[in-house]
Each structure stands twice: as C-alpha cells, then as structure tokens.
Structure 1
Amino acid sequence: MWLLSQLVLAALVLGILAALTHNARERSRRRLPPGPKFLPLIGNAHQLSIHYQERAFAEWGRTYGDLIYARLFRLPVLIINSIQIARELLDKRSGKYSGRPQLVMLDEMLGWSHTVATMDYGDQWKKQRRWAQSTLHDQDYMSVSEQVRRRETCVLLASLVATPDAFLSHLKRYSAATIMEVLYGHTVTSEDDQFVATINKAMEGTVECTVSGAVLVDFLPILKHIPAWFPGTYYRRRAPEVKRLVQDAVNRPFEMVKRCMELGTAKPSIVASLLEASIREGTLGEDEKDIKGLSQTLYGAGAETTSAVLITFVLAMTLHPEVLRKAQAEVDQVVGKGRLPDWPDRENMPYIECVLKEVYRWICPLPFGVPHCVTEDDEYSGYYIPKGAMALPNIWSMTQNPELYPEPDKFIPERFLKMDAKTSNFADPSEYVYGFGRRICPGREFADMNVWLAIACIIATLDIQKATDSSGNEITLDATYEPGIVSHPRPFKCSISPRSERFELMIAEAKVTQT
C-alpha cells in the first residue's frame, strides 16, 4: 500500500512538472494570442463560473484584447470578442474554421449529434445544409410559410387580447407553430399540442443540462463516466431523461409524417418533400437519419431563438413606452389603421427595423452560438493559432461594444438611424447574431421573418405597459436574462391590451379571415 501511494504521488508530481514545462514551452515556442495565465492540468477552468461565461470573456478582453488564447483543461480555446476578427477568421477564412469541437454534453449525452449545428464539417453536414437551403428557399414552401406566418400571427394577436397574462406561453406557441407546420405539415391548434409539449420539454431540458454540466464535461470528457450519485453531477442523472425527450421530439413528428404519407393525407412540408425525394432515389435508408437531423436543427434553432427574441421585444416595450409610441406612429403613417402590416411594408418602416436590430443587440438570443474548431494551423496579426483549438465567437461581447454601441446597456433603437450606411451594415446585429461563416444558422431568414411580422403586428394593434400590483403601483422590472445556450429574459409581468376597440375588432376579423 505504501509503495502504491508513493507511485501515485510520483506520477502526480511528474504530471504537474510535465504540464508546467508544456505550459512554458507552449507560450515561448510560438507567439500565441495574449490571455490569462493557466494552471497545470486545469488551464483556466478555475477562472470561470458556471453561468454567464460570455461576461467573463468580455472582461478578459479589457486586459488582453479582442483575440484571447486560453486553455480549458487540455483544450486550447480561442476567444473572439470583436465582430471584425470574427468576420476575418470565421467568414473569410471559413475553410480553416468550419470544424466542430467535440461537444460531449450535446452530442453524446443529450442526443444532438446528428444536427447541422453539432456535426463536424463533411459530406453529411454538406448534405443537410444543401437540403436546408433548397427547401427553405423553394418558392412553394416560401408561399406556404407566408400563409402559415400570417395565420399564426393573427392567432397570436387574438390570444394576447384574450389572455394577456399568458403572453409568454402565447409567444412560445407562435414560435413553435410557425416552424412545426412548415417542417412537418402539422397545424398546432392548442396551447398543449402533444408534439410541441414534447419538443419544448426536450429544449428546456437541453438548456438546463448545458448550463449545469457542459462547462466541465465538454472540456474534461472523462467526467461523463463519473457515477450519477457522485456530488455535483446532477447533469449525469438528468441527461438520460433529457436524451429520451430529445429522441421523442425527433421521432414522433417524423413518424407522423411517414404515416400520413402512407395514408395519402400528408400536407406539404419540408420533411415530406425530403422523404419523397429519398424514396424516388432509393436512398431512404441512408437519408432518414439526416432528414431527422435537419428537422431537429431547424426546429431547435428556429423555435427557441424566435421565442427568445419576441420575449425580449415585449420586455423592451414594457420598459420603454416612448419607443412603442414612436413605432406605432410609423405604422399608422405607413400602413394606416385599417389593416395589419405585411411584407411590402417592411422597407417603408425604418424605425421598426431599428427596433428589431436593437432587440437582437440588447439581449442577444445566442451569447456564443455553437463553437467552431480550427482545422489547420493559422496565423492572424502575427499570432499563431493552433489546429484543434476551439474558436469561440463571443457574440454577447460584440453586441455590448461601447465603441460601436454607446451606452450598450440601454435600449436605444435610434442608434442605428444615426449611423452612416457603412457603419450600419457593419454593426447590424442581425448579420452576426445567428453565427458566422459556413456555420451560420441555415434558418436565420425564416426566423427573422417570423420575428418581424409578429413584432410589426403587435406594435400596430396592442399597447404594452408595466403591470401594477394590488395597490395600483407599477411593478419594477429589470433587463436580466437566464443563462444558457439561448438567452431568455427572466419571467416578468406586463399589461397588454388593444390600442382601441377598433384594433380589437380588426384582430378578431383578421383571425376569422386567416383561420
């Protein structure tokens, strides 16, 4: 026993010495980007909290600049805090930055391994990406999606009038319903739709697990083998439950489409179209998994980000009634008070466009997105960037840059009106909050259209104010958000009502006409 303990101690000492030597050599051998000093074995892991890592990385940027090199255990990490560097590396040099690091929690433990968002760059990734581009930009499906979007917007407005206190549920339902019908041909008719309920539970569980466990297990994969009863490993107990939900969320609507196709009752949808093409080409066996993966990507990205952005919009309008009044005046001038806004109106309402940009920026829906992986050694501005490093675009830091967005903590849509054309294009958050390079979200245009129509129609017809307590005093709110892959504002209360009886009647008539 004594000999064994001495051998273990010796091995530990040698390991520490080796790590120290490697640390020194690594810094001196090549000119790496600046960054905080890291410890043997654990790197910089001790300097991070479980929540809000994007803020910690932004704080590091004040000391080390916009390109930071760190280590999380044995994994080299390249933190990108500026739009300019992200576009140079991830956009212009996308051939070297389109890989995906191993994401143990998402891929292995939660069952997201076969999606465009998490797969490594290769043939399967290209196939899913090609399908996404061809289907989402197909004229027939664009026409279907416009009809669905208009109908669901009318349902959303009517729901907000009928039960305004349940606005969070209504916004989430809208986000789910618009993608469910285009993706699966399934019309969501109730708040407790069976497919939506399962998918929402899967998404909530995914966010929960990635907040509590992924920080360590992604960078130290051996932790996935620690027994579930071990203290501090809640994610080990929760992950199998969430994985089953994720599998149900993918398989149940997919099998529904297949059954409807067999019965001849399938509605036009992306999944049905891809299945039909695979059956014709005799490739269903090899394509089925990819079709499921693409649908998982489009729903997961589309529904979650859309609901997050819409909830942020309602919070912003609650806190800034002057912005809502100004936006309403623009709608009244361009659209009038006899109909709802529609696509051709968008280019004629620049202030509402600024409101949407500021919503994207103020509480960006994806603080990081999914990280990239460097597939070849590279050099930038005299710094060596090693192959295998995780490239992490800190989108939150980009949206909070005070040089580009003065007083970034404040909600000021007018900031975009004051920019010249070149600066406005560079600083437009909608151009980068959905990612960079070959890894940019394939459904970003679909999501943006869903968000714009909902926001424009809410502005046109509804008033949003602070809620009051039992004594009639306004309830104080703040702009805090939940940590996680997707940033949702923390639950809050507000008062939503029609701007007038005229608008209430218009909402009711529009719902009848569209549904």
Structure 2
Amino acid sequence: MTKFTDNFLKQYQNTPPQVISIAMAAGIALYGMYLFDTYLAKPTGSKYNEDGITSQKPPQEVPLVPGGLPYFGHIFQLPSEIPAFKFDEWHRKYGPLIRINMGIKSWIIIGDSDIANDILRVKGAITSDRPFHLFTSQYVSLGKRGMVFADADKRWKQSRAIAQSLFGPKGVSRKVHTFKQEAEWVSEMLLKDTLENGHVNILKSLQVGTLNLIMQTFFAKRAESLDDPLAITMIDLTGTSIKLSAPDQDMPTFLPAFSALFGPWFKSNEKEMREFVHEKRDPVYWRLIREALESDEDCFVKILYELKDENELEDDDILLFVVDIIEAGTDTTAMTLSWAFVILSHYKDVQKRLHTEIDKFIAEHGRLPEYEERENFPLLISVQKECMRYRTTVPSGIPHEVTEDFEYQGYLIHKGAVLLSNTYTLNLSEALYDKPREFVPERYMLDQRTLAASVSSSASRGRDQFMFGWGRRTCPGVHMADVEMFYFWVRILATSIIEPTLDHQGQPRYPDLDSYLDGGITSAPGDPYIQIVERPDRLI
C-alpha cells in the first residue's frame, strides 16, 4: 500500500461511507470540469516555435503513464518507499520523458541527462521555481524564503550568492582545521564503538560527525557523543522536517475538491506543521544564533550578520539560511559516506589498494594529505565517485516548477507543471556508463575533476553523476561536501579496515546493498551495520 493510500485511508477511517461516495463523485465531477477547461485552452492550430518559424504540427502532451485513475491520477501507484524505483520502471517502459498526474497536479519525470540539461539548465530561467507544498512553502520556509524551497527570485539569488562565497574554496579554507578534527574524532569513535559493541551503525555515527562539522562552522558548537542532547535535538529536528515535507502530508494540494467539500475529514496536518516550526524548531535555532553572536569564537553566523545590511537581509533570512544548510548538508553527507563504507565492506581487495595509495603518501611526507593534494589519490577519487553513482543518496531531485508554457522537442510543457529529474535512472544510464548496475572501482580513474567542476559542466555528458541538482538549483555547498568527504575518507582508511559484521557462527554477514532507508528526498543504507577495525599496519 502506498504512502498516499495509507494517508487517504487514515483521513477517512471515521467518515460515513455515503460521505466518501459523495466526495468521490464531486471530485470526479470537478476534475471533469477542470479537464474540459484545460482542453479548451490548449492550442489547436499552428504555433510559432522559439525562432518565430511556424510549425505545422501542434505540440503534443508529454506521454502519460497508463493506469491513472480519474481525479486521483497515479497517486495510488507510487510505492511506499523510494518512488524513484517506480519512475525507473516507467522510464524503461514508456521512455525518458514521462508524465504522471498527482491528483490535479501534472508531474513530468525526466530520465535522460541530455533532456534534464536542456530543460532544467538551459531553460533554467523558467524552470527553477519550487512547487507549492503547505509545509515547505508556507511554514518551513516562512513563505517561500531561504534557499531550498524558495522560488528563484531576488531574495533567493542574494542568499545563494552568500552561500557560494561561504562554501567556495576561500570560505571553506577558513574551516579546514574543523573538518580535519571532526574526521579524526569520528574515526577514533568508530574504532572504539566497534571494539566495545562488535559493530557500529555507520549512519548514526556519521550523522553526528557531519552535524558537528556544520554546527562548529556556523555556531562554534559541537556534540560530544551520539547521546549528547544537542545531537539528539538537531537530528530530531531534521528528521521531523523531512517527514512533514513529504507529499502525503499535504494531500489537499493534490486533491483540492475533497479538501474544499469535506475539510473536517480531509485536511493537511497544519496544526503539527505550525507548532513544529514556531514552537520547536525556531526557538532552538534562535538560541544557537544568539549564543554564537555572544561567543568569542569565529563562526559563519557572525559573517552573515556582517553581510546583513549590505544584502538587505532580515533576521528571518539568516535563520532560514542556517536551517537550510544544516538540514540539507548534514544528512546528505552522512548518508553519502555511509553508503560508501557499507559498499567497501564488500570489497576488501579495493580497500587494500586504497590503503597502499594513502600509505605511500604518508611514508613520503610524514603526514596525512591536504585536500589540495588530492591528485595523489586517483583510486580514492575514482572509488568515491563510483560509490556516489552506484548508490545515490538523492534518488529523485527536489522538484522544480515551470513558470511559463514552453515547447520541447515537440512536447508542450505547461506553466505550473512539476519537473522531477530521476537521479536513480540518470546514474544508471546505459548510454553514459558501461555496466551501470555494477560497482566498478576504476570507472573514474581518467576523471579526477573535483565534484564542483563536474557539476559546473555545461554538457550533461560531462558530469560524473547527478545528485547535486541542475542549473540554477545546483547545490551551492558541493565544494564543501567534496572537501569534507575527502578528509573523512582519508582518515578512516589510513587507520581502519571496514569489515562486515559477524553472525552467531562467526561468519561474515555482509550488509544488503539493495536495502534502502527512505528519508523522503534522500535514501540511506537500510542495513548500516559494519565493523571499523584498527589496521595493524597503520602508519599514523
């Protein structure tokens, strides 16, 4: 049963059957009127293309996936977890550009990198807004402000420019010592916890490590352990925010007729949304901001307030800037690293080659490397990129919304349509990768570019993988993520062997690489238990 189905039934579990019947009939009738109005508004004759040349054939609708229901569309066909898997199945059946109806909302799913590049980057001026969702648009972003859920307006551009400055090479260089310290702390914690418990939950350990990195960067504050109240609070805030951002938490956006006619039985969980943001999330962040400003430590919050007047920022803009970075940067990095180490637990031979590469540098220089010396580690860079491609942390990109009608390769894409790049399909493209569903450690040995350089490529086929978004909405923290992950990789591999856990008979129990933990927009290993064992031959 899907999330939408579960939510639909919960909404109606105490509703009289006759009310449900009336509601469904009314909804279908209203949707029929909607379709009729839409049909009358569609072009019926020739149309000028972008060059002003008359096309004799009118543009067609993007192919609709079969099986949708009247009014409800394809809502009940989506799986309860990782919709990207279903999208991938549809792409293989119906093509790289497909359309589904989420109630009255039209979603266009993109499963080809060239099409994604053309629509989301080249056409970025009219494809970079965000669709409305009650929680993300009205509550979590305080009315579509901030960076993640704001439309691509002037205020958003200002915030993004600041982010690119803080998280670019110059800004990150100010905090490199923090990256090293946290990576070393996590490395030692993993060894200690494995020794004490026989295994570690790699995801939870890395969540605290990546949280600390951003918390120190912004607030000069960190959690001391997995059980630290600060870590528990911040991870809970992020998890709740992701849960409330799911589409099924705002059903009336997709099925407005039911909401308008039968609001008491069918509505969003608006009370929980409002209380979470205003009574739970915001007080915590305002306290952290105030304490950072009062401290003697150097931190990014102070820089944001220095830039406040120059960039016409309000206090809420600074609050949302911090919230967006912590929520977008903590879990995604932790999940990406978790996938990598779970994968490596299956490949001891690859680890040995990585140990040799790192040990060679340590033997020659008597220290661990800096990020700027990454050219000495072609295998490490290749394996890192392959892990990100092979098991992506972001199976489907964050939705975009179209702001003007436009034609693409004979298809008419309407204003208001939601665009979703299916990263899972793109990263497993047979047109781009040889044996895409296999883990090939050497795949990127000839592509040693930084992640930022790859994301900035003007051609889709020049990118190594597709989890950092498209066009104007590409992740502004990609350089920081690259630096951060490099230091985690180097420190853990320099000191440790990543091994599977053992069963009751003492036999290896390898993590299931096909088990996924659905995080809404993200996905983590569903089987995150491994061992981090100290290398007997470590050099440092």
Task: State if a TM-score over 0.5 links the two structures.
Answer: yes
- 1:220 corresponds in structure 2 to 255
Distance 1:115 1:42, change over 3 A: same
Distance 1:416 1:217, change over 3 A: farther
Q: Please, which of 481, 494, 508 is the counterpart of residue 460 of structure 1? A: 494
Contact 1:334 1:345 in 2 (8 A): no
Runs of 4+ in 1 over 4 A off after TM superposition: 4-14, 19-30, 109-113, 221-231, 233-242, 418-431
Contact 2:378 2:448 in 1 (8 A): no
Distance 1:420 1:380, change over 3 A: farther
- The answer to which structure has the higher helix fraction is 1
How far apart are residue 429 of structure 1 and its match? Answer: 6.0
Q: Which amino acid aligns with 1:495?
A: Q
- 1:432 corresponds in structure 2 to 466
Contact 2:128 2:152 in 1 (8 A): yes
User: Secondary structure at the residue paired with 2:87?
Assistant: helix
* Mapping of residues 68-467 of structure 1, within 5 Å: 68-108=98-138, 110=140, 113-137=144-168, 139=170, 141-164=171-194, 165-166=199-200, 167-211=202-246, 213-214=248-249, 216=251, 218-220=253-255, 239=273, 242-243=276-277, 244-258=279-293, 260=294, 265-278=295-308, 287-336=314-363, 338-417=366-445, 432-467=466-501
Distance 1:40 1:414, change over 3 A: same
Q: Which amino acid aligns with 1:314?
A: F
Deviates more, 1:190-199 or 1:472-481: 190-199
Structure-1 separation of matches of 2:91 and 2:401: 21
CA offset digits 1:391-445 (Å, max 9, x no partner) = 1111111112233234433322222337899999755766531111111111121
User: Secondary structure at the residue paired with 1:297?
Assistant: helix
User: Secondary structure at the residue paired with 2:92?
Assistant: helix
Structure-2 separation of matches of 1:454 and 1:5: 54
Contact 1:23 1:40 in 2 (8 A): no
Q: Which amino acid aligns with 2:79?
A: S
Gaps of 5+ in 1: 507-515
User: Secondary structure at the residue paired with 1:171?
Assistant: helix
Structure-2 separation of matches of 1:431 and 1:409: 14
Structure-2 separation of matches of 1:68 and 1:304: 30
Structure-2 separation of matches of 1:314 and 1:10: 52
Q: Does 1:33 align with 2:67?
A: no
CA offset digits 1:213-265 (Å, max 9, x no partner) = 3474553367789999969x99668645643443244323122223x1xxxx3
User: Secondary structure at the residue paired with 1:319?
Assistant: coil
Q: Which amino acid aligns with 2:137?
A: D
- 1:488 corresponds in structure 2 to 524
Over the residues paired in the alignment, what is the CA RMSD in angstroms?
3.5
Distance 1:120 1:423, change over 3 A: closer
- 1:15 corresponds in structure 2 to 30
Distance 1:11 1:80, change over 3 A: closer
Distance 1:217 1:198, change over 3 A: farther
Structure-2 separation of matches of 1:318 and 1:389: 42
Q: How many residue pairs align between the two structures?
A: 491
Q: Does 1:498 align with 2:534?
A: yes
Deviates more, 1:415-424 or 1:329-338: 415-424
Contact 1:335 1:345 in 2 (8 A): no
User: Secondary structure at the residue paired with 1:457?
Assistant: helix
How far apart are residue 14 of structure 1 and its match? Answer: 4.3
How far apart are residue 81 of structure 1 and its match? Answer: 0.9
Distance 1:474 1:345, change over 3 A: same
How far apart are residue 186 of structure 1 and its match? Answer: 2.1
Deviates more, 1:178-187 or 1:309-318: 178-187
How far apart are residue 335 of structure 1 and its match? Answer: 3.8
Structure-1 separation of matches of 2:86 and 2:508: 34
Q: Which amino acid aligns with 1:92?
A: V
Deviates more, 1:110-119 or 1:121-130: 110-119
User: Secondary structure at the residue paired with 2:221?
Assistant: coil
Q: Which amino acid aligns with 2:355?
A: Q
Gaps of 5+ in 2: 1-18, 45-58
- 2:92 corresponds in structure 1 to 62
Q: Which amino acid aligns with 2:521?
A: I
User: Secondary structure at the residue paired with 2:353?
Assistant: helix
Structure-2 separation of matches of 1:155 and 1:388: 47
Deviates more, 1:101-110 or 1:386-395: 101-110
